[in-house]
């Protein structure tokens, strides 16, 4: 059984990006810049944002965090985005989700210049990805990170059956569209399951590659997996654990101990898909910098 080590792959990717940034700077004298807008005090979001900013700094990229209070209006957020859209030093804009309930997330997504939408959530980027215009779009980071993991582990995907559990806009739908593309590490026959799907275990057992993004701890058990399948666990669920200092820990959507006895390869949680999502955010920002500087 192969443990697909997202921490190691993302560290490798960070080193590569860091070298690219140094090289680009020697030619242009400029650095890529990512600005993150955080609205409100959600503790998990604060940790995610801090982590993203820290990792950007580690690879030599500029990163700025704009923290706004809970009561910020949609108009105020849109004004900030308009300024960043016009700023030549800002190559990536990320508005951390979830936003407070009075803010319409779609209005925020639509306001970001698609060239700077390094999350890959803007309909223009999603549309280009679906149509296969990869040179001019940003691919949604989690799906892009999973493709990178499959590629770097040399996992054969072409013509194989990929089953995705979950159809969210940020994971399941982009993932399904990506695995369908005539691309290395994709080119699959794709099935997507969701909460209305019948006989889920029958469907998941057909998977050569099983990608799970449900948000339910241990949802996929060994009996739901075909022996030899490759299993990618996107889930990141916080559960109580009195034995840890914090009183909680994070687990995936896959019962790792059981499924690792039947899978040929599997991602752990933590240390699988999670670190790759941030790495691809940085890669998208570097790609945006390249496009804006004609590199």
Catalytic, 54? Answer no
Q: Write down the least CB distance from residue 5 to ligand NAP, Å.
A: 14
Cα-based angle 54, 168, 226 (whole degrees, multiple of 5): 100
Pick the binder of ligand NAP from 15, 73, 194, 261 (CB under 6 A).
194
Q: Which of residues 227-256 bind ligand NAP (CB under 6 A)?
A: 234-237
> 3-class DSSP state for residue 232?
strand
Pick the binder of ligand NAP from 26, 195, 243, 246 (CB under 6 A).
195
Q: Write down the least CB distance from residue 237 to ligand NAP, Å.
A: 5
Q: Which residue has the tokens 């990163």?
A: 63
Q: Which of residues 268-287 bind ligand NAP (CB under 6 A)?
A: 273-274, 277
Catalytic residue (one of 119, 208, 233, 255): 119
Q: Which stretches of the chain are DSSP H helices? A: 6-28, 43-58, 74-86, 105-111, 123-131, 141-152, 172-180, 200-204, 256-259, 273-292
Catalytic, 52? Answer yes
Q: Contact between 64 and ligand NAP (CB under 6 A)?
A: no
Query: Which residues, 6 or more positions from 269, have their beta carbon under 8 angstroms from its beta carbon?
Result: 233, 235, 236, 250, 251, 252, 254, 256
When the beta carbons of 218 and 258 are compared against ligand NAP, the nearer one is 218
Catalytic residue (one of 5, 14, 24, 96): 96
What's the Rg (C-alpha) of the chain? 19
Q: Contact between 166 and ligand NAP (CB under 6 A)?
A: yes
Q: Give, as one character, the DSSP assignment of residue 140.
A: P
Q: Write down the least CB distance from residue 253 to ligand NAP, Å.
A: 6
d(CA 208, CA 205): 8
Catalytic, 97? Answer no
Which active-site residues does the annotation give? 52, 96, 119
């Amino acid at each position: 059984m192969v443990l697909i080590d997202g921490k190691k792959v993302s560290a490798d990717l960070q080193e590569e990006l860091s070298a690219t940034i140094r090289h680009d700077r020697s030619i242009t004298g400029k650095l890529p810049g990512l600005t993150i807008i955080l609205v409100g005090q959600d503790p998990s979001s604060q940790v995610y944002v801090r982590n993203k900013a820290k990792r950007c700094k580690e690879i030599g990229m500029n990163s700025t965090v704009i923290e706004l209070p809970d009561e910020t209006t949609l108009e105020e957020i849109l004004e900030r985005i308009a300024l960043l859209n016009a700023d030549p030093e800002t190559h990536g804009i990320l508005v951390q989700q979830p936003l407070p309930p009075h803010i319409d997330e779609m209005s925020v997504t639509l306001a970001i210049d698609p060239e700077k939408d390094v999350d890959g959530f803007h309909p223009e980027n999603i549309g280009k990805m679906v149509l296969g215009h990869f040179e001019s779009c940003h691919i949604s980071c989690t799906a892009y990170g999973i493709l990178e993991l499959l590629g770097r582990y040399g996992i054969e995907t072409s013509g194989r059956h990929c089953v995705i559990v979950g159809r969210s806009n940020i994971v399941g739908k982009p993932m399904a569209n990506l695995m369908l593309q005539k691309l290395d590490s994709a080119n699959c026959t794709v099935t997507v399951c969701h909460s209305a799907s019948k006989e889920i275990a029958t469907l998941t057992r057909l998977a050569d590659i099983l990608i799970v993004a449900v948000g339910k701890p241990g949802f996929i058990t060994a009996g739901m997996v075909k022996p030899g399948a490759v299993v990618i666990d996107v889930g990141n669920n916080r559960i109580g654990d009195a034995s840890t200092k914090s009183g909680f820990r994070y687990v995936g959507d896959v019962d790792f101990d059981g499924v690792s006895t039947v899978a040929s390869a599997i991602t752990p949680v933590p240390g699988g898909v999670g670190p790759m999502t941030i790495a691809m955010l940085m890669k998208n920002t570097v790609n945006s910098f390249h496009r804006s500087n004609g590199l």
